Amino acid sequence: EPPDTPEDFSCQTQDMKRVTCTWREGETYLYGQNLPRYTLSKTSSQKTALCKASCSKQCSCSWDIDQQWIWNVTVTVENPLGKKTATDVFDVNHRMYPTAPFQVWEDCTDTEITLHWNYENNAIELFCQTEVVQPDGKIELHNSSVADSKRVTVRGLQPYTEYMARVRCGAAKHFWRWSEWSQPLTTRTKEGTPSGKLDIWREIIPVLGGRNVTLFWKQTPDFQANGKIILYEVTWEKIEDGSKPESISFSSVYNSTRIFIDNHSYRISIMAKNNVDFSLPSVLIITRATDNSRKILFCSFLGTEELKEGQVNGTDDGIFISWEPRSIYDSYIIDWCNFPRLQPCDLQWKRFGPNTSSAVISSAAFVPGMRYKFSIYGSVANRASLLEKKIGYLRELPPHLDPIVRKVDLTYNSVTLSWDSYFTNESEPGFVRGYYVYVSPVQGNCNLKGSKKHILSDESELCKYTIDNPEEKRYTVKHLMPNTKYKIVVKAFTGGGETPIYNFRYIDTPSNSNMLYFVFLLVIIPTLVAAICHWKMEWVKECCCPVIPSPNKSKVLSFKEFKIDSEKVLKINDCLPDMLAMDSNAEAQKL
């Protein structure tokens, strides 16, 4: 292809002695002796080249200007397929492109940095700009207020903070473009007095004659060390009698200490110190231990609870806690232990504003199945009062053990199970919400009235009964079949469910005694009567159905007109016998 017109053709100087022109070459797809040839010349005399062009990433050509300031130059590019030109007309005084500043150094205070530098051509009046990179990556640009000044002061910086700075310059008159940046300089401001206050908290344990107070402190986002903290100073003094304060200092590696105080009110303050000065004091007021408060502290020391512990639930983000706000407090504090089963337990605390009544407490130390205790305090004028206690889990897990069934009472159609109170303590992985009773005949599936079906992993069926009261210790399963073998188990469940179902207890229901009695009445007694009747048949026949009935037993002869004295008499003329027989015995003769 024929060459394109040279792009971005421009000329500039860095020292007012030599001009350099640059441009970008185009693609012609020709090589070897057919490559494009570049010629830079005065527009008025294009036959005389001013310089020899060289091309790599871009093309450039330089020449000495002597005393000529106005230039009209043309660059010509040609190959066997064509020729193109580009022209630039300029005043050298308007094309100043300074070299980058060098030898950059600084002077620092706690809030200011003054940068100094040099540049090669001091005869040219320059205007410079400073770039300052903040610790968070934010970039600030600061322009020098005086032309040809070789320094700039950057103010409003943070004490004992690292910054990175660099400088570039341009012509103060007829600005053309900025120079390249100087080499970056990394510097740190000097230390200053710590700003803000430490966040402090306490744990109070009653002992004989007074109280052991463990003090904790930490730096908050509002606290600025403004240097390297070298120590912490703890001071405590009795409020009532204005006695001389006591104080103790600790290395910066410590964040807690324990002191002993008596039962009077105390004012405790903690300050941080760097190489310049102390921070403002953070203050706690420990109120006087009254009889009532001593009782509360003593109960706490013994492990009894003066305040009922409410249950709280875990969420995806932490453990959700709410409390009843009181208008008298200017802030609230929640404290807890990251590792409840260790000593020390790594006590943590968090402060909230007066308009807050709930919070989600999160910690990287929280694990499922671990019970955490939270104490909620209200604070006013640096005095904290315990308001509520909460216990909860990040996520509940199934209980470790099943209830121990101590007693089984059986009837032909029911079983009554009695178990011990479920022992719940801090080691339990969840709150026991109730119990499940599972029952099934050993042979066949279960289909008991009032139960729900539960399918095991092996696809066998159980009847399931739910007891929602964790205080319940007795349950009766009804509608069982007599003389049948059953398997049965009692499971505790938490918010995390229950453990796998195994360790069944096997029972055999007795026969139904009422049914046996009914069978006895219906079968045995008639059979016995029939046997007796068969055995005494002649006697029975004679008694119940004689061949010759006894007149004395005849109801027909029971009327008075048939009686003569005590004998019953039958009148012959009332009878129509089939035949007449004469008896020859003595009684017949008498009759």
**Which of the four pLDDT bands, split at 50, 70 and 90, describes residue 303?**
very low
pLDDT at residue number 419: 92
Q: Please state, in angstroms and rounded to a whole number, the distance separating the CA atoms of residues 422 and 404.
A: 8
Instruction: Please check whether residues 84 and 112 belong to one and the same domain.
Output: no
CA-wise closest residue to 119 among 95, 149, 92, 146: 149
In the structure encoding, which two tokens stand for residue 578, read together?
Answer: 């089939």
Domain boundary residue among 467, 490, 509?
Answer: 509
Instruction: Please check whether residues 88 and 106 belong to one and the same domain.
Output: no
Instruction: Please check whether residues 477 and 427 belong to one and the same domain.
Output: yes
Q: What is the mean pLDDT of residues 348-354?
A: 96
**Is 424 within the bounds of a domain?**
yes
Average of per-residue pLDDT values in the chain: 86
Instruction: Please check whether residues 427 and 478 belong to one and the same domain.
Output: yes
Domain boundary residue among 73, 94, 115?
Answer: 94
pLDDT at residue number 191: 95
Instruction: Please check whether residues 492 and 410 belong to one and the same domain.
Output: yes
**Is 566 within the bounds of a domain?**
no
CA-wise closest residue to 556 among 572, 541, 577, 570: 570
Instruction: Please check whether residues 164 and 240 belong to one and the same domain.
Output: no
pLDDT at residue number 529: 77
The pTM score is: 0.70
Q: CB neighbours of 84 closer than 8 A, spacing ≥ 6?
A: 2, 3, 4, 5, 6, 76, 77, 78
What digits encode the pLDDT tens for the residues 464-489?
Answer: 999 999 999 999 999 898 989 999 99
Instruction: Please check whether residues 79 and 112 belong to one and the same domain.
Output: no
Amino acid symbol at 79? N
pLDDT at residue number 304: 43
Amino acid symbol at 573? N
* Cα distances (Å, whole numbers) of residue 96 to 42, 53, 91: 20, 21, 10
What is the SS3 assignment for 428-473? CCCCEEEEEEEEEECCCCCCCCCCEEEECCCCCEEEEEEECCCCCC
Q: Please state, in angstroms and rounded to a whole number, the distance separating the CA atoms of residues 19 and 69.
A: 10
Angle at which helices 537-544 and 525-535 cross, to 10°: 90
**Is 558 within the bounds of a domain?**
no
**Which of the four pLDDT bands, split at 50, 70 and 90, describes residue 300?**
very low
Residues 161, 245 contacting (CB under 8 angstroms): no
Q: Please state, in angstroms and rounded to a whole number, the distance separating the CA atoms of residues 209 and 211.
A: 7
Instruction: Please check whether residues 411 and 505 belong to one and the same domain.
Output: yes
Domain boundary residue among 188, 218, 249?
Answer: 188
What digits encode the pLDDT tens for the residues 86-120?
Answer: 999 999 999 999 999 999 999 999 999 999 999 88
**Residue 218 burial (CB count, 10 A):** 13
Q: Please state, in angstroms and rounded to a whole number, the distance separating the CA atoms of residues 379 and 351.
A: 10
Question: Does the pLDDT of residue 279 top 70, yes or no?
Answer: yes
CA-wise closest residue to 130 among 146, 147, 151, 109: 151
Q: Please state, in angstroms and rounded to a whole number, the distance separating the CA atoms of residues 143 and 163.
A: 17
Indicate the number of domains in the chain. 5
pLDDT at residue number 297: 47
**Is 553 within the bounds of a domain?**
no
Instruction: Please check whether residues 89 and 14 belong to one and the same domain.
Output: yes
**Is 77 within the bounds of a domain?**
yes
Q: CB neighbours of 178 closer than 8 A, spacing ≥ 6?
A: 129, 168, 169, 170
**Is 532 within the bounds of a domain?**
no
Instruction: Please check whether residues 203 and 182 belong to one and the same domain.
Output: no
Q: Please state, in angstroms and rounded to a whole number, the distance separating the CA atoms of residues 367 and 341.
A: 13
What digits encode the pLDDT tens for the residues 386-408?
Answer: 999 999 999 999 998 888 899 99
Cα 285 to its chain centre, rounded Å, is 33
Q: Please state, in angstroms and rounded to a whole number, the distance separating the CA atoms of residues 42 and 39.
A: 10
In the structure encoding, which two tokens stand for residue 416, read together?
Answer: 């009554």
Could you tell me what percent of the chain has a pLDDT over 70? 87
Question: Does the pLDDT of residue 561 top 60, yes or no?
Answer: no
Based on DSSP, count helices (H) and strands (E) in the chain, helices before strands: 5, 39
Instruction: Please check whether residues 430 and 490 belong to one and the same domain.
Output: yes
Instruction: Please check whether residues 79 and 119 belong to one and the same domain.
Output: no
Q: Please state, in angstroms and rounded to a whole number, the distance separating the CA atoms of residues 43 and 238.
A: 95
The CA dihedral of 486, 490, 496, 497, to the nearest 10 degrees, is 20
Question: Does the pLDDT of residue 324 top 80, yes or no?
Answer: yes
pLDDT at residue number 220: 87
pLDDT at residue number 469: 92
pLDDT at residue number 222: 86
CATH of the domain at 422: 2.60.40.10
In the structure encoding, which two tokens stand for residue 540, read together?
Answer: 């029975």
What digits encode the pLDDT tens for the residues 4-28?
Answer: 888 899 999 988 889 999 998 877 7
**Which of the four pLDDT bands, split at 50, 70 and 90, describes residue 544?**
low
**Which of the four pLDDT bands, split at 50, 70 and 90, describes residue 575?**
low
pLDDT at residue number 553: 58
CA-wise closest residue to 483 among 512, 462, 463: 512
Residues 127, 149 contacting (CB under 8 angstroms): no
Least confident of 308-317, 369-378, 445-454: 445-454
Structural domain for 219, as ranges: 198-292
Residues 213, 234 contacting (CB under 8 angstroms): no
Residues 3, 77 contacting (CB under 8 angstroms): yes
Least confident of 49-53, 195-199, 469-473: 49-53
Q: Please state, in angstroms and rounded to a whole number, the distance separating the CA atoms of residues 591 and 551.
A: 14
Q: What is the mean pLDDT of residues 413-417?
A: 92
Task: Check residue 278 and report its DSSP letter.
Answer: B
**Is 1 within the bounds of a domain?**
no
pLDDT at residue number 62: 92
What digits encode the pLDDT tens for the residues 563-572?
Answer: 566 666 666 6
What digits encode the pLDDT tens for the residues 137-164?
Answer: 999 999 887 777 888 999 999 999 999 9
Helix (H/G/I), strand (E/B), else coil: 369: coil
Q: What is the CA radius of gyration of the chain?
A: 55
Q: DSSP assignment of 499-542, as one string?
A: PPP---EEEEPPP-HHHHHHHIIIIIHHHHHHHHHHHTHHHHHH
